[in-house]
Structure 1
Amino acid sequence: MAKYELEKLSAETQSALSQLFVITTETIRQFETGEYFVLFGRGSKRVQNILGIEREILILGNVYADQQARSVRFARRIINESDGRLESTLCVIVHQDGRGNTKLKRWGRENGLAIIPIYTSTGILPRGQELERLLSYEFFTQDPFDVTGPVASDAQFFGRRTEAQELARKLQLGHIRSCFGIRKIGKTSILHRVLAEIKNSYDAATLFIDCQRDDVFNLDAAGLLYSVEQSLRGMRETGQSYAEVNATPFTGTTAEATNRFQAVLEQFNVPVILAFDEIDYITPSNGSAVQWRHGFVEFWRNVRAAYHAAARADRKVSLLVSGVSSRWFSVESIDGIENAALAFIPEEYLSPLPRGAANAMIKSIGAMAGLQFDEDALEAISSFCSDMPFWIRKTCSSLHGKIEIAARPITLSVATVSTMLEDYGRDEGAALAKVALQHLFRVYPELRGPALSLLDEGRALPPSLQRTLTRYGIAAANGAISGTMMRMALVMIAEEQPVINELPAQPEGEARPLISEWAEELAAISYRRNMMERSLRSIVINFLRVSALSSKGSATAKATLLAAVGEKRRAELEPFNLDLIAERLYWLELVTIISKHWLLFERVFGDKSVFNRNAEIVNDRPDAHAKQLEPSDIAMHRRALQWLDERIARV
């Protein structure tokens, strides 16, 4: 019965898609415990242009009422096995799960696929233009830039594939490596990628120590050594090739824990790889775990002793240390005690993406949402984000949300993205970068002063500090600040510094000069006009929307609005959605739109000539001119504002 229903849905899908695709392959296949119909479809020229595709696309379907992640894994496998015949980032899945659209899109993002879900509760699919609109909407509304956790799949891992493979190879040979970098630079992503590469390609025993876990950083040096030893012993007994450390408190001495650790290392005939992530939690920087102030040197001194003992016994042991601050691995002593980690753990960094890789990342992911960028736009985005992959994703996610769905696929120019980048930096980007910098300065406070000094472009830094700031992505190779978001964040942090008041103290009892009445009047006029302009934007958009919905066959609200502005401004505003266009309209443009569609607004403002006269007075903006106003001028502005206020308040 289930197979009959699946074949029936396959036939219905082919019939519905017949005007849009030519089906070249049709099969029924099983994957894990599921059964699917599999179609390869070559899109018509129109569909190819809409979706931005050149190859055939995979069309998958099932009749299950609850979609599982295996559907997306199956799609990814088929695409990978097609040897380039199928589009690598796009797939259509026909299903009967009422909640399936959201799930499939999310799983698709995790696997580097733009899933176009088609839900049918009755087994009947829309056809023709209705189906075309559905495909376009489902494709363009998803946000492929929105990846919040670490990425490891080939489709999402940009610019560092070779780096990860080389790091895995060196660890298998018994090397000690480190991976330091600013927050959200991609350390955990590359660490996961390296561990996956080791699992798939090498014969080794890998123990992962996540130092941010409470049960891990609350241990002392002896306890962590003992926990590592016990976890390795368990792997040895069970034959596991990978495990996460099992934090176990230890009441013995550090010497006893070290002897046990050294003994278990000698029992392995394959390389033993110890991978430490979020290492900052077991350094003196962690004020909530004071035992690591003195325990840091103690721990690494004994790890070094066990490492050398294993080498003498002809056993391969590798270390990978990942975290934000390289500070405690670069100082000669801590509290007067020689730092055992100084010559043991190398100072290596995960820097921002190379510019070519950053541009390729934007280009590849953007294609999954119908967004294409010219070369200058790619450069502008990468430069704005200092080539930081997470910052790029967040920025492009913001751009994605501001581009009208109906306008896609669309090629964005540098002129279009520049204004959106400025808005994003002011609204979110600077704060995002500030969080990353503040975290770095908290665990590596010595970098705060040199980093802020970059704002003084004429000031030179010692070469060693310059190199460190470059490795962290704060500075470019030429010594300048690496990007706009970074500069914004540094400015915000600098402004939080206490300001020394160099003005002479005011004599006691002497009254401060009062703000002039003229300045107060200007401030009041400016405030009232800004509030009114905001209300006017809302009225214009809502009235145009209602008009478009109530008149069958009439132009959309966006089209009506754009028709009322000049040709040059129309080209600038075209890519944006209606709400964003409204935010960008000038006062005179709002007035022009109202005048051109006076029949819609007449019941609000009454007399058109009176409206235009008062709008012109308000637009004069006396607060923008450094000149004295006559009392009659101020009274005139008050009356104009009052007239408009009263009519807007009626809506």
Structure 2
Amino acid sequence: MKSITPGLNSSMNLAIFTSEEKEIIRSLGKEWYITNAGGRLTIGNRSYYKYFLMKPTSAYQELFNIEREIVVVFSDYENFEPRSLDAFDSAINVNNELRIERACGILISRDRKIETKITRLLKSDPEHQAIVPFTYEELSNKYDSFFIQNRFKEHFYSRDLFAFNSALKKDLYFFGRTDLIYSIINRHKSNENSGLFGLRKTGKTSLVYGIQRAIKNSEGISIFLDCQSPNFHAKKWNKALYLLIAEIKSQNNLEILLKNESEYSEENAASAFEKDLIKLHKKLKNKNILLIFDEIEHITPEISLSQHWKNGRDFVLFWQTLRSLFQKYNNLFSYLIVGTNPKCVETPFINGVDNPIYMQIPHEYIQPFDVPQTKDMIRRIGSIMGLNFDEGIYSKLHEDFGGHPFLMRNVCSVINTLAPKERPVRIDKTMYERGKLQFNQKDGSSYIDMILSILKEHYNDEFEMLKFLAIGDYEQFKEFAQISPEYTNHLIGYNILDQNSDSYFFKIESVKQRLAEMNKFKKINLTNSEKLAEISERRNIIEPKLRLIIRTVLRSNLDENNAKQKVLDIMGTPRSTKYYSYSLKDIFNANKSEIYFEDLRKVISKEWQYFENIFGKDKSAFNTHMEAINKYRADTHAKEIEKGDMEYFRVCAGKIEAYIEDFL
């Protein structure tokens, strides 16, 4: 980093500032280099601000990894208003954007509660740049050399910028996908359509926002349609066309007279849509409109929740209309379809009719980050938070989580909670491994389940393939692969799997581990030792959970003594005598008393009125399942477990496990 000396640029003219503001600027010049007097800003025709630019000296460069000039805004109002923050964007826009540090800004306000208000406001907008607030009074009085630094630390290091779980609507923390954005925009400008696919949390919607920002910056037109909204997919195809027209008008704030919704009957919708679209196109100065259909699954045949899209011909009629107009007119519109799976463009026939967009839309999958992109994202965000990652961490993070930005950011969010509060701090391999372990144990499973849930819900064959591969059942995996090569193509496209010759393997190790853990009791062709280990493990997991359920249920329906007596009656002598003085909790504590698996079955069976809503109402079936689990556990030391017996054990154990999971 280039060394910067504190001071004021000798050519600066401070005439626009009050005497108090000039003193504040000169005082800041003892720690920063004041480069530019900036100027006046008008926000909303009624709010006026002044600003200047200053560069960080070496101490600030090292502490906060900022090198470029920072915008400092004076807000000469007694009460802070959120619109004051718009002044930072205005200042950036009137300067060379490349010279301005967009990650942070300084606000100097007359509002004495400005720090509390800024903190509260930015909590509701985690994507906003860091704003370091001061009052006029604070900077007009004498302060020591650490006052400014400490205020920066409070407002830089207190925010967890890794913990974004929603789509990024701004470009400040958007990384790694700029080339893809401009590739799609260039296709649109060439009057070509596009498709973009990827699993949940791969950044599809963030990409869409990025595309819309870039088109807006070039004064183009884009329209966003959320197919997931019932407001869209609940409508028939003709009313969906009307909604599309309404959105073009609304999203561009156009005043224009168009056809009424009643004129969009099934007989006339295509004609009405064409006439309205041409009128809108002229109103928009004949600019080519990009129609973005997000969450395309929700209007895809066989998948949509709405029956007319799922089993009817609405999809065909809707896309016949759009494709016909696309071919008839040049530079009227193009469309981008966004979703999880390209089924809608890979299916040749829909209910016996040609699919109008079959093989008509070039599509691609969202690629994972490579190591340089991973480094750029993690280093940049981490440095703002005072986390300095060792160089080797970037490749390790990429390897462990397959370049998946959502997973990598959330691992780093966990690391942030574990790291010392005194910043900046070095994140070495040991700290990384601690964070990864805690992530996998706490949140990792739920995040991976969220990512894979779309496959489980709508593309179950592909989900089953992943399960088989994760538990090492390669024969079952290959059977699915032979049914449809598209399955493996999709899984590779999602960047979950990769292929080397005839072998397939997971690219995201954490996904493999999660699926293997979820399905470890579904592997077939087990050795006898594997069968014995599974029977023992599952019974040992079930037993303490049953103890907890029985104690909880009995205690909620009976007083302590009655509940305890019912259990002692089941145990019989001499154990009932031995444990008579024990509390109910201690009786169910395996470290303090001998209570057997069969005791648990008997207690539940005898007091069935308290447990029937938990265990399926069929008392006989419950007893059968419990007896089987106990029988095979007892037999494990004595004989070979036959295939049929193992399958029966799995059925019985699965039933009890499901009841327990639902209750707990």
Partner of 2:108: 94
The one-letter amino acid of 1:494's match is N
CA deviation vs aligned residue, 1:146-168 (integer Å, no higher than 9, x gap): 33432243422211112112212
Q: 1:340 to 1:39 in 2, by over 3 A?
A: closer
- In structure 2, how many angstroms separate the alpha carbons of the residues matched to 1:467 and 1:474? 11
Deviation at 1:265, TM superposition (A): 4.4
Deviation at 1:18, TM superposition (A): 5.5
Partner of 1:366: 382
Match of 2:492 among 470, 473, 477: 470
- In structure 1, how many angstroms separate the alpha carbons of the residues matched to 2:146 and 2:235? 64
Deviation at 1:464, TM superposition (A): 4.2
Q: 1:225 to 1:397 in 2, by over 3 A?
A: same
Q: 1:85 to 1:320 in 2, by over 3 A?
A: closer
Partner of 2:432: 417
Q: 1:43 to 1:328 in 2, by over 3 A?
A: closer
| Structure 1 residue matching 2:442: 3-state secondary structure | helix
Match of 2:345 among 329, 336, 344: 329
Partner of 1:489: 514
Q: Is the 8 A contact 1:172 1:198 kept in 2?
A: no
- In structure 1, how many angstroms separate the alpha carbons of the residues matched to 2:592 and 2:38? 71
Alignment of 1:511-522 (within 5 A): none
Deviation at 1:22, TM superposition (A): 4.2
Match of 2:179 among 162, 187, 210: 162
CA deviation vs aligned residue, 1:209-257 (integer Å, no higher than 9, x gap): 22122221111123213433565688999478xxxx99x9769653421
Tell me whether 1:48 sits opposite 2:61 in the alignment. yes
Partner of 2:406: 390
CA deviation vs aligned residue, 1:495-537 (integer Å, no higher than 9, x gap): 5869999989x9xxxxxxx99x9xx9996289xxxxxxxxxxx
Partner of 1:29: 40
| Structure 2 residue matching 1:405: 3-state secondary structure | coil
Q: Which runs of 5+ in 1 are unaligned?
A: 507-513, 527-651
Q: 1:370 to 1:197 in 2, by over 3 A?
A: same
Match of 2:358 among 342, 362, 378: 342
Match of 1:402 among 418, 422, 426: 418
Alignment of 1:174-323 (within 5 A): 174-201=191-218, 203-204=220-221, 206-229=222-245, 238=254, 253-265=265-277, 268=281, 269-284=286-301, 286=303, 288-295=305-312, 297-314=313-330, 316-323=332-339
Deviation at 1:420, TM superposition (A): 1.0
TM-score, normalised to structure 2's length? 0.66
The one-letter amino acid of 2:216's match is K
Tell me whether 1:141 sits opposite 2:155 in the alignment. no
TM-score, normalised to structure 1's length? 0.67
After the TM superposition, which of the residue ranges 416-425 and 381-390 deviates more from structure 2?
381-390
CA deviation vs aligned residue, 1:549-598 (integer Å, no higher than 9, x gap): xxxxxxxxxxxxxxxxxxxxxxxxxxxxxxxxxxxxxxxxxxxxxxxxxx
- In structure 1, how many angstroms separate the alpha carbons of the residues matched to 2:525 and 2:505? 27
| Structure 2 residue matching 1:480: 3-state secondary structure | strand
Match of 1:74 among 84, 87, 103: 87
Deviation at 1:86, TM superposition (A): 4.3
Greater RCO, 1 or 2 (C-alpha within 8 Å, sep 6+): 1
- In structure 2, how many angstroms separate the alpha carbons of the residues matched to 1:202 and 1:66? 36
- In structure 1, how many angstroms separate the alpha carbons of the residues matched to 2:296 and 2:151? 48
- In structure 2, how many angstroms separate the alpha carbons of the residues matched to 1:485 and 1:525? 38
Q: Is the 8 A contact 2:196 2:365 kept in 1?
A: yes
Q: Is the 8 A contact 2:411 2:435 kept in 1?
A: no
Q: Is the 8 A contact 2:160 2:385 kept in 1?
A: yes
Structure 1 residue runs of 4+, over 6 Å off? Answer: 3-6, 120-123, 233-237, 496-504
Partner of 1:546: none
- In structure 1, how many angstroms separate the alpha carbons of the residues matched to 2:520 and 2:19? 66
Q: 1:150 to 1:521 in 2, by over 3 A?
A: closer
- In structure 1, how many angstroms separate the alpha carbons of the residues matched to 2:57 and 2:233? 59
The one-letter amino acid of 2:207's match is I
| Structure 1 residue matching 2:364: 3-state secondary structure | coil
Partner of 1:535: none
- In structure 2, how many angstroms separate the alpha carbons of the residues matched to 1:252 and 1:428? 48
Q: 1:127 to 1:476 in 2, by over 3 A?
A: farther
The one-letter amino acid of 2:163's match is D
Match of 2:461 among 429, 446, 456: 446
CA deviation vs aligned residue, 1:159-208 (integer Å, no higher than 9, x gap): 1112112212212332121111111211111112222322332555x443
| Structure 1 residue matching 2:311: 3-state secondary structure | helix
Q: 1:298 to 1:38 in 2, by over 3 A?
A: closer
Deviation at 1:362, TM superposition (A): 0.9
The one-letter amino acid of 1:91's match is G
Partner of 1:524: 591
| Structure 2 residue matching 1:524: 3-state secondary structure | coil
| Structure 1 residue matching 2:366: 3-state secondary structure | coil
Q: Is the 8 A contact 1:6 1:62 kept in 2?
A: no
Deviation at 1:121, TM superposition (A): 6.9
Q: 1:145 to 1:34 in 2, by over 3 A?
A: farther
CA deviation vs aligned residue, 1:597-618 (integer Å, no higher than 9, x gap): xxxxxxxxxxxxxxxxxxxxxx
Q: Is the 8 A contact 2:301 2:315 kept in 1?
A: no
Q: 1:23 to 1:218 in 2, by over 3 A?
A: same
Deviation at 1:370, TM superposition (A): 1.3
| Structure 2 residue matching 1:342: 3-state secondary structure | coil
Deviation at 1:89, TM superposition (A): 2.3
Deviation at 1:417, TM superposition (A): 0.6
The one-letter amino acid of 2:403's match is D
After the TM superposition, which of the residue ranges 83-92 and 317-326 deviates more from structure 2?
83-92
Partner of 1:60: 73
- In structure 2, how many angstroms separate the alpha carbons of the residues matched to 1:252 and 1:108? 40
Q: Is the 8 A contact 1:21 1:42 kept in 2?
A: yes
The one-letter amino acid of 2:157's match is F
| Structure 2 residue matching 1:351: 3-state secondary structure | coil
After the TM superposition, which of the residue ranges 91-100 and 186-195 deviates more from structure 2?
91-100
Q: Is the 8 A contact 1:211 1:217 kept in 2?
A: yes
Partner of 1:585: none
Deviation at 1:313, TM superposition (A): 4.7
Partner of 2:607: none
Q: 1:306 to 1:336 in 2, by over 3 A?
A: closer
Partner of 1:637: none
Q: Is the 8 A contact 1:475 1:482 kept in 2?
A: yes
CA deviation vs aligned residue, 1:336-391 (integer Å, no higher than 9, x gap): 54433323344432232333212211111111111121221112223333322222
- In structure 2, how many angstroms separate the alpha carbons of the residues matched to 1:330 and 1:50? 52
The one-letter amino acid of 2:104's match is L
- In structure 1, how many angstroms separate the alpha carbons of the residues matched to 2:76 and 2:339? 46
- In structure 1, how many angstroms separate the alpha carbons of the residues matched to 2:520 and 2:268? 52
Q: Is the 8 A contact 2:300 2:315 kept in 1?
A: no
The one-letter amino acid of 1:62's match is S
Q: Is the 8 A contact 1:437 1:489 kept in 2?
A: no
Q: 1:139 to 1:16 in 2, by over 3 A?
A: farther
The one-letter amino acid of 1:469's match is L
Match of 1:480 among 496, 505, 511: 505
Tell me whether 1:433 sits opposite 2:458 in the alignment. no
- In structure 1, how many angstroms separate the alpha carbons of the residues matched to 2:410 and 2:299? 30
- In structure 2, how many angstroms separate the alpha carbons of the residues matched to 1:410 and 1:236? 47
| Structure 2 residue matching 1:454: 3-state secondary structure | helix
Q: Is the 8 A contact 1:261 1:306 kept in 2?
A: no
Q: Is the 8 A contact 2:242 2:264 kept in 1?
A: no
